[in-house]
Amino acid sequence: MASHNLKIHEQCSVAPPSAPQTSLPLVFFDMFWLRFHPVERIFFYSLPVTHSNPSIFFTQVVPNLKTSLSHTLQHFSPLAGNVLWPNGSSNPVVQYTPGDAVSVVLAESEADFDHALDNAPKEASELRCLVPNLESSDSHASVMAIQITLFPNRGFAIGISTHHAVLDGKTSTLFIKAWASLCKTNDDDSSSTRSLAPELEPFFDRTVIKSPSELGFNLSLVDLAELVTKMFPGENSDERCLKLLPFPPRLEDQVRGTFVLTVADLERLKNRVLSKWDSADDVVEAKSNSNSKSTSSKPTKLSTFVVTCAYTVVCIAKALHGVEKEKNKFSFTFTGDCRARLEPPIPENYFGNCVWGNLVDAKPSAFIEKEGFVIIAKSIHSKIKDILDKGVFHEVDDVLPRYAALAKERVEMIATAGSNRFGVYGNDFGWGKPSKVEIASVDRALTVGLAEKRDEKGGVEVGIVLKRPVMELFGTLFHGGLTYE
């Protein structure tokens, strides 16, 4: 799906019909992501031939998508705005000013639609042409960009890039759900404000987020200037700079694949961990670092998230080590949604970032141990139990020093994106649920993309990008391990 197979029809802008100027301050949850790469997703939709003919698609389907997008932006106006840092302000803001709009690219692809939907590993570069660029400069950054690409007589893709300092995965999913609902019920009235179901209305009140000092800890916002200078010596290190840092997609000899865990697979994996829980205890004690809390008592059940992450990251670690022997130290970090875990809890539809990173307590070599899957599953379960028992911020003072120490040791950091609870396959714009959903931005770091399984409640889809030989070994380990007892 090389870019030369792509024909750009139009580059346009879509704005809310009418919305007042709004300005939302970025809070400490947002600031970590200020210059982070955008979150990029692609939703593929199959269409009947009657709608996917180019003349019909661009004259009937696209206007419907644009009108409903405009109506949705009426409710989500900050998404049409920019991140700015006002003079005299200690924090940046996301600001919408009447006249601001979302960039929308309309394109047509000659590529094979069925190939794009296939889970089998394919060139990582193939999907990149379906993702719009998110503009940023030293003084401002766009919040969202969209690309709608037709695959004639087969279907279309919606590529969305969003600024991570403005919205987390839950908020971006809320927006997509709102847009899909208004598109599906579009009455072609482009002048009036269309109402959303209450659960799809964003909650903008930032006063519900307490400051670090109110929460009882001293978290000065990371010294971004110093961090940028160390990690990106050629970049602007001014702490007020808003230009997104270069996290270029890893495309050279890289392939992208989607791997599926069925409900039956997950049950077997959960049972395997529980059956070895106590026998792996000594291994955990001996292998984990001094911060480890992994001696927690055996649970009666394990979550799908725990075993999906543990199984996937251990397969990645073993595949990387198998191909590149010098890579033998790994760590795993995951972000947890804090909305329900703050005191008091905040609404599920809170607009912004409300996620906190969690670093799993396991010795870097544990991932490639024979019983690495069990060890890491126990470590993730233990970390989540700590969060539930002791609060989201109970280890906040240790976090940055630990990340720094791991970076110094050249430990391979594996992270997650997305969630198997977002319900991305429920986003029906009027032509049925997506045929495939990809988190394109997992190619910018060593990241595991998570989504629910399209056609089985309780199953999970895992998306990853790895070098071809590593992906081949990963596939062997992943599929082989599901039949192992």
First vs last Cα of the chain: how many Å apart?
39
Which tokens in the block code for residue 282? 């000594």
Convert 371-405 to b/e letters by CB count within 10 Å (16 or more is b): bbbbbbbbbbbbbbebbeeebbbebbeebeebbee
User: Do residues 132 and 103 lie in contact, with contact meaning Cβ atoms separated by under 8 Å?
Assistant: yes
Could you give the CA distance from residue 17 to residue 312 in angstroms, rounded to a whole number? Answer: 45
Catalytic residue among 164, 265, 381, 443: 164
CB count in 10 Å sphere of residue 172: 21
Give 38's Cβ-side CA count (13 Å radius). Answer: 25
Please list, in sequence order, all residues whose beta carbon lies within 8 angstroms of the beta carbon of residue 5, skipping any fewer than 6 positions away. 109, 110, 111, 129
User: Do residues 93 and 80 lie in contact, with contact meaning Cβ atoms separated by under 8 Å?
Assistant: no
- Pairing between strand 6-14 and 140-142? unpaired
Q: Check if 428 is active-site.
A: yes
Question: Is the four-CA dihedral 390, 394, 399, 405 of positive or negative sign?
Answer: negative
Give phi and psi for 330, each to the nearest 5. Answer: -135, 160
Give the containing element (helix H, strand E) for 336: strand 330-337
CB count in 10 Å sphere of residue 184: 14
User: Do residues 30 and 95 lie in contact, with contact meaning Cβ atoms separated by under 8 Å?
Assistant: no
Could you give the CA distance from residue 8 to residue 134 in angstroms, rounded to a whole number? Answer: 17
- Pairing between strand 122-123 and 254-261? antiparallel
Catalytic residue among 112, 281, 386, 428: 428
Give 425's Cβ-side CA count (13 Å radius). Answer: 17
Q: DSSP code of 53? A: S
Could you give the CA distance from residue 263 to residue 455 in angstroms, rounded to a whole number? Answer: 11
Query: Residue 369's Cα: distance from chain center in Å?
Result: 28
CA 364 vs CA 56, 268, 289, 332: distances in Å: 55, 26, 9, 9
Please list, in sequence order, all residues whose beta carbon lies within 8 angstroms of the beta carbon of residue 396, skipping any fewer than 6 positions away. 217, 219
Residues acting as catalytic residues? 164, 428
